[in-house]
Structure 1
Amino acid sequence: MSHRVLAASVLAVLLVAIAVVLVLRVPWATAPAPRADQLDALQGLPADAVAKGRAFHSALRPGTYGALGVALLVALVLGLTPLGARLVELVGRPFGGHWLGRAILGGLVIVLIGELVTLPFAAWRHSVLRDYGLSTQTWQAWLVDLLKGYAVGAVVGGVAIVGFFTVTRLFPRWWWAVGAAGAAVLMMALTFVFPVLVEPLFNRFTPMEAGQLRTDLLAMAQRDGVPVKDVLVADASRRTKAVNAYVSGYGATRRIVIYDTLLTEVSDAEVRSVVAHELSHAKSNDVLTGTLLGALGAASAVLVVFILGAWTPLLRRAGVDDIAEPRAIALLLVIGTIGGVLAGPAQGLVSRKIESRADAHALEVTGDPATYETMMSRLATVNLADPDPNPIEHALTGSHPTAVQRIAMARAWARSH
Structure 2
Amino acid sequence: MSVQRLLLICLICTGVALLVAIAVTTPWRPLPEPPGGFGHPDAARDFTAAEIARGRALARAARPPAYLSMALSLVVALVLGLTPAGAWIVQTVARPLGGGWVWRILLGGLALALVGRLVTLPFAARLEVVRRRYGLSVQTWAGWWVDVAKSFAMSTGLLLVVVLALYALIRALPRAGWLLAAGGGALLVVAISFLYPLLVEPAFNKFESMPDGPLRTSLIQLAERDGVPVRDVLVADASRRTTALNAYVSGFGSTRRIVVYDTTVRDADPREVELIVAHELGHAKRNDVLHGTLIGAAALAAGVCAVGLLMTWPPLLRRAGADSAGDPRSLALLLAVVAVLGTLSGPGQMLISRRLEARADVHALDLTRDPDAFIRMQHRLAVANRSNVTPNPVLQILFGSHPSAPERIALARDWARLHVEG
**Counterpart for residue 19 of structure 1:** 19
* Letter matched to residue 226 of structure 2: D
Q: Partners in 2 of 1:84 and 1:256 — Cα distance?
A: 45
**Could you tell me which residue of structure 2 aligns to residue 154 of structure 1?**
156
2:323 to 321, 324, 340: 321
Q: Secondary structure at the match of 1:106?
A: helix
Q: Secondary structure at the match of 1:92?
A: helix
**Match for residue 388 of structure 1?**
390
| Residues 228-255 of structure 1, C-alpha deviations (whole Å, 9 max, x = no match) | 2322211000000000112333334333
Where in structure 2 are the equivalents of 1:150-189 lying within 5 Å?
150-189=152-191
Corresponding residue for 2:298?
296
Residue type of the partner of 1:275? V
Paired with 2:181 and 2:193, the residues of 1 have a C-alpha distance of 19
Q: 2 CA distance for matches of 1:130 and 1:234?
A: 20
Corresponding letter in the other structure for 2:7: A
Q: Is the 8 A contact 1:244 1:259 kept in 2?
A: yes
- How big is the shift at 1:63? 0.4
Aligned to 1:51: 53
Is the alpha carbon distance of 1:35 and 1:118 closer, same or farther for their aligned partners in structure 2, counting shifts above 3 Å? Answer: farther
**Residue of structure 2 in register with 1:106 after alignment:** 108
Q: Which amino acid aligns with 1:281?
A: H
Q: Deviation of residue 216 (structure 1)?
A: 1.4
Q: Determine if the alignment matches structure 1 residue 236 to structure 2 residue 215.
A: no
Residue 226 (str. 1) matches residue 228 (str. 2): yes
| TM alignment of 1:73-84, pairs within 5 A | 73-84=75-86
Deviation string 1:263-294 (CA, Å, 9 cap, x unpaired) is 11111001110111000100100001111111
1:71 to 70, 73, 86: 73
- For the residues of structure 1 that align with 2:371 and 2:222, how far apart are their CA atoms? 17
Larger mean CA deviation between 250-259 and 109-118 belongs to 250-259
- Tell me if structure 1 keeps the 8 A contact 2:307–2:338: no
Structure 1 residue 36: deviation in Å?
5.5
Question: Structure 1 residues 36 and 180, CA, compared in 2 at 3 Å: closer, same or farther?
Answer: closer
- Contact 1:42–1:388 (CA under 8 A) maintained in structure 2: no
User: Structure 1 residues 259 and 73 mapped into 2: Cα distance closer, same or farther (>3 Å)?
Assistant: same
Match of 2:97 among 95, 118, 134: 95
Q: TM-score if structure 1 supplies the norm length? A: 0.96
User: Quick one: distance in 2 between partners of 1:340 and 1:309?
Assistant: 16
Q: Which amino acid aligns with 1:38?
A: P
Give the whole-Å Cα distance in 2 for the aligned partners of 1:307 and 1:216. Answer: 53
- CA RMSD of superposed structures (Å): 1.6
Aligned AA (2:11)? L
Gaps of 5+ in 2: none
Q: Aligned partners of 1:125 and 1:355: how far apart in 2? A: 26
Percent identity over paired residues: 49
1:344 and 1:168 map into 2 onto residues whose CA distance is: 27
1:42 shift after superposition: 2.8
The match for 1:409 is: 411
SS at match of 1:135: coil
Structure 2 equivalent of residue 38 of structure 1: 41
Partner of 1:267: 269
Q: Give the distance between the partners of 1:221 and 1:329, measured in 2 at CA.
A: 47
Map 1:241-390 to 2 at 5 A: 241-390=243-392
- 2:5 is aligned to 5
Secondary structure in 1 aligned to 2:200?
A: helix
Large movers: runs of 4+ above 6 Å: 31-35
Question: How many residues are aligned here?
Answer: 416
User: Once the 2 structures are TM-superposed, how far is the Cα of residue 195 of structure 1 from its aligned partner?
Assistant: 0.5
Query: d(CA) in 1 for partners of 2:173 and 2:296?
Result: 24
Q: Are the equivalent residues in 2 in contact too, given 1:42–1:387 (CA < 8 A)?
A: no
Cα shift at 1:35: 7.7
Q: Which runs of 5+ in 1 are unaligned?
A: none
Equivalent-residue separation in structure 2 for 1:36 and 1:218 (angstroms): 33
Equivalents in 2 of 1:91, 1:80: separation in Å? 19
**Could you tell me whether the CA contact under 8 Å between 2:236 and 2:260 is conserved in 1?**
yes
Structure 1 SS opposite 2:139: coil
1:211 to 2:213 alignment: yes
